[in-house]
Amino acid sequence: MSRQRLSPLDRLLCAVPACTAFMALAGCSPKEDAAAPEAATPAAAASPAPVREITQISGELYRVRNNAHYTVFLVTPEGIILGDPINADAATWLKGELAQRFNVPVRYVVYSHHHWDHAAGAAVFNDTAELIGHENMPGAIQAYSAGLSGDLVAQDKNGNNQLERDEAQGGMAAQFDFFDRNGDGGITAAEIIAEVVPPESTYSGSRTLTLGGKTVQLIHPGNNHSTDSTIMFFPAERAAFGVDFIGVKRLPGGLLGGGTYEEWISSLKAVEALDFDSFLPGHGPWGSKADVAGFRQYGEDLRTAVLEGIKAGKTVDELKASILMEPYREFENYGIWREQTIEQAYQLLKEGA
Ligand SMILES: [Zn+2]
């Protein structure tokens, strides 16, 4: 039964509001998911299998894909340090792959942030792993659970703080039975985030994990897409992993979720200050340190353009029509997210954030 309830999650996760509304700088989009290879064939379109792959990045550091979501893991002789679990279905698959390939247990799961489309499913590893998150993560989970947020509020036509079947739209409609975990005919925020297990240990600022002679630094870059963001920095592998507040040649799905515009930019600079060659985001292609600089430049150029418009007394619609962000036309999601990022930047910067 649980397999039937879980299977739609992988293929539809990116259509759900968690990715499109409160998840500022969110990575996924319905368009991206629709473009996934499994949807390209008629047979797969009827019941698409999740697209999953494991790619070796450097040394014993690997990147894992589950449709539009990505995580990382580092293998050591004493066990594995894993990033986001993504979701229960993906985690179950990954656990099997890790056992088969490496025959060592997952000793740590490091949450990039609390958003359920990245953080769900850690229970799968909890028999052997310690779950680690930033100190703000437990509070962020609680805050999310308290009530519908983002565009889920707009779907809640009768305002009763849950989505009934005739209200749910998009991914929430498609996955209604999955999220209505108690089967009472309504989806609450607590049900949506129910599979996110709170961290068992938290840190403030930074923390170093050592296992089997290898090291991973956990770094909180400040508030950005959320208030509980963690970067995983792999010094020996010369790589860094960060999720949703940062991307590679890719427009963000939204702006901010717990910080100011300036804090977002300073978070990106905190990543740039690390010594690495490979940057591994939670969505989209991976790239180089120059790509991180390019993404930060996008954020700064957007801020400059929007602030000029505000100063000139332009409306947000005028800005959406005039700010074309031409140098970033080749970024992923330029066509679908350019206007919304301008709108969100306008709202933030007009408020002085
Ligand atoms: Zn997120």
Spatial distance between the Cα atoms of 282 and 83, rounded to a whole number of angstroms:
10
Whether residue 238 is contained in a domain is answered as: yes
* Cα 106 to averaged position of ligand 1 atoms, centre (Å): 23
Max Cα separation, the chain?
62
* Cα 144 to averaged position of ligand 1 atoms, centre (Å): 12
Angstrom distances, CA of residue 332 to CA of 20, 100, 148, 220, 325: 15, 35, 29, 26, 13
**What's the pLDDT at 184?**
97
**What's the pLDDT at 183?**
97
pLDDT in tens, the chain (353 residues): 333 333 333 333 332 333 433 333 333 333 333 222 222 233 333 447 999 999 999 999 999 999 999 999 999 999 999 999 999 999 999 999 999 999 999 999 999 999 999 999 999 999 999 999 999 999 999 999 999 988 899 999 999 999 999 999 998 999 999 999 999 999 999 999 999 999 999 999 999 999 999 999 999 999 999 999 999 999 999 999 999 999 999 998 767 677 889 999 999 999 999 999 999 999 999 999 999 999 999 999 999 999 999 999 999 999 999 999 999 999 999 999 999 999 989 988 987 75
* Cα 243 to averaged position of ligand 1 atoms, centre (Å): 7
* Cα 297 to averaged position of ligand 1 atoms, centre (Å): 21
Whether residue 225 is contained in a domain is answered as: yes
Spatial distance between the Cα atoms of 16 and 6, rounded to a whole number of angstroms:
14
Whether residue 314 is contained in a domain is answered as: no
* Cα 113 to averaged position of ligand 1 atoms, centre (Å): 7
Whether residue 312 is contained in a domain is answered as: no
* Cα 135 to averaged position of ligand 1 atoms, centre (Å): 16
Tokens 């992988």 locate to 10
Spatial distance between the Cα atoms of 26 and 175, rounded to a whole number of angstroms:
19
* Cα 22 to averaged position of ligand 1 atoms, centre (Å): 8
**What's the pLDDT at 296?**
97
SS3 146: coil
* Cα 229 to averaged position of ligand 1 atoms, centre (Å): 9
Q: Which domain holds residue 158?
A: 2-288
* Cα 28 to averaged position of ligand 1 atoms, centre (Å): 9
Spatial distance between the Cα atoms of 282 and 167, rounded to a whole number of angstroms:
30
* Cα 244 to averaged position of ligand 1 atoms, centre (Å): 5
Total domain count, the chain: 1
CB under 8 Å to 194, separation ≥6 — which residues? 181
Q: Where is 338: in which H helix or E strand?
A: helix 334-350
* Cα 313 to averaged position of ligand 1 atoms, centre (Å): 32
Q: What are phi and psi of 69, to 5 degrees?
A: -110, 145
* Cα 55 to averaged position of ligand 1 atoms, centre (Å): 22
CA 104 to chain centre: 27
pTM for the model stands at 0.86
**From the CB of residue 201, how many other CB atoms can be counted at a distance below 10 Å?**
11
Whether residue 140 is contained in a domain is answered as: yes
Whether residue 309 is contained in a domain is answered as: no
CATH code, 8: 3.60.15.10
* Cα 349 to averaged position of ligand 1 atoms, centre (Å): 21
**What's the pLDDT at 253?**
76
* Cα 261 to averaged position of ligand 1 atoms, centre (Å): 16
Spatial distance between the Cα atoms of 124 and 97, rounded to a whole number of angstroms:
13
Side-chain half-sphere of 348: how many Cα atoms within 13 Å? 26
Whether residue 118 is contained in a domain is answered as: yes
**What's the pLDDT at 256?**
65
Whether residue 302 is contained in a domain is answered as: no
* Cα 43 to averaged position of ligand 1 atoms, centre (Å): 31
**What's the pLDDT at 258?**
76
